[in-house]
Structure 1
Amino acid sequence: MSAPGVLVLAKTPQPGRVKTRLCPPCTPEQAARVAAAALADTLDTVAATTADARILVVDGDHPAPAGWQRLAQRGGPLGDRIANAFADARPVTDGRGAAAATLLIGMDTPQLTAAHLDTAVGLLDTADGPDAVLGPADDGGWWALGLREPGHAEALRAIPTSTARTGRLTLAALRRRGLRVHLLPRLRDVDTAADAHAVAARCPAGSRFAVAVAVDVDVPSPAAVGR
């Protein structure tokens, strides 16, 4: 049996459309460069995994790397776009002879490693493994969701996103469906300048994100970090 597929849900890094919470201290152009670097590092990490299928699910015209599939995001609210991404990717994974199991991540955790993803993929690919894997984020959301049966992503349509309760609500919704959920390591995602510097410090050597943060994101004052 082939390994599950990995989806990367992303926005094309255009000024004014990505990483707006970095502004200030960043300009929209600087924030877009930081987002582009985060996406590039994330795509490289996914390319280094054992996943059978790699799919960029993108809002905008950003191209997929060679050897990847590319899908357009559908829907308005983020929960709908995530559920639609799982649904739209299923023919791609099934068409490659893979199990329908799918792992979805975003572009906001460039510090993640191929080992993080291979662990999640391996759990979904194990006969007696969990039905779902969920990676909680420090801000109360989540950075990864993997489903052995992608149809369960329908539960996300009713969950408010980008709140301090999103992760807890997602976990509860999955368990209400009778799913066995394995929690992945907690990671910090990038919203603010403080997040950007904290995450950059955890990125591997050669990280484009770390370089972009050093160049384009002013170090926040202690007062700003405390807010």
Structure 2
Amino acid sequence: MKHPALIVFAKTPVPGRVKTRLCPPLTPEQACRLYAAFLSDILGEAARLTQWRRVIAYAGDPDWFAPWGGDFELLEQQGADLGERLLHAFEAVGTPAVGIGSDSPHLDSEIYRVAAERLEQVPVVIGPCTDGGYYLIALARPVDLFTAMPMGTDRLLAATLGRGRNLDLAMELLGEDSDIDTWADVQAVRAKLPAHSRRTLAAIEAELAR
């Protein structure tokens, strides 16, 4: 199997700019701490793919990602909105690539390997979310499945599949899973979170209980 690139789309953790839908019950500072734990766990899992090219497509201050510089290339996101930023990153990387976000720390790197294997058969592989979006999208070559799309809505997956059909692209769906946007989402996946994220969550819940 040829190893593609892995692109992790991430924001620098800043209170009030990440995981705002967790507030309330969390404060912006607590939501930021939890997001930072999620992101660290995702990058730690991705770093295990030692034979892959690994890229962090970041928005914000790159200094937060400096400790990961030995394992990842840093690529600044560019574009007026999320769709443009996604397309730019895939085009900048160029090679077959698996793209993930920072909302699913409970997924392990095996799902990235599965997506890479599927890319040998079809040009587009998507990991659908229970909320109508997707937790992973993999492309054999850069193609615009992103601009002018209903990002962040329950219509995103359907719209993406529709555009793929219009472009005459064969697409394959992986198993459905969830991402973490709300406090209910946190509770739904807490048992599957990595140990670091679980510890951070427990500490925050202890603060809420006081």
Same fold (TM over 0.5): yes
Give 1:171's match in structure 2, choosing from 161, 165, 189: 161
Runs ≥4 residues deviating over 3 A: none
| Aligned-partner residue type, residue 49 of structure 1 | L
| Aligned-partner residue type, residue 210 of structure 1 | R
Contact kept, 8 Å, 2:100 with 2:137, in 1: the verdict is yes
Give 2:152's match in structure 1, choosing from 148, 162, 178: 162
Structure 2 residue matching 1:58: 3-state secondary structure:
strand
Does residue 186 in structure 1 map to residue 181 in structure 2? Answer: no
CA deviations on 1:158-206 (whole Å, 9 max, x unpaired) are: 21101111011111111221111110111111111111121222224x2
Aligned to 1:32: 32
| Aligned-partner residue type, residue 115 of structure 1 | E
Query: How high is the sequence identity, in percent, across the aligned residues?
Result: 38
The 1-side partners of 2:86 and 2:74 are apart by 15
The total of aligned residue pairs comes to 203
Using a 3 Å threshold, how does the CA distance of structure 1 residues 119 and 50 change in structure 2: closer, same or farther?
farther
Unaligned runs of at least 5 residues, structure 1 = 91-99, 221-227
Contact kept, 8 Å, 1:5 with 1:51, in 2: the verdict is no
Structure 1 residue matching 2:146: 3-state secondary structure:
helix
The RMSD of aligned alpha carbons is: 1.7
| Aligned-partner residue type, residue 199 of structure 1 | V
Aligned to 1:41: 41
Structure 2 residue matching 1:164: 3-state secondary structure:
coil
Aligned to 2:83: 79
Using a 3 Å threshold, how does the CA distance of structure 1 residues 20 and 172 change in structure 2: closer, same or farther?
same
Structure 2 residue matching 1:158: 3-state secondary structure:
coil
Alignment of 1:116-131 (within 5 A): 116-124=111-119, 126=120, 129-131=121-123
Contact kept, 8 Å, 2:47 with 2:71, in 1: the verdict is no
Give 2:98's match in structure 1, choosing from 77, 97, 103: 103
Aligned to 1:213: 201
The 2-side partners of 1:192 and 1:14 are apart by 17
TM-score, normalisation: structure 2: 0.91
The 2-side partners of 1:84 and 1:118 are apart by 23
Give 1:132's match in structure 2, choosing from 115, 124, 140: 124
Q: CA deviation at 1:48?
A: 1.6
Aligned to 1:113: 108
Contact kept, 8 Å, 1:193 with 1:217, in 2: the verdict is no
Aligned to 1:7: 7
CA deviations on 1:36-84 (whole Å, 9 max, x unpaired) are: 0110111111112365200000001231511310000111211111111
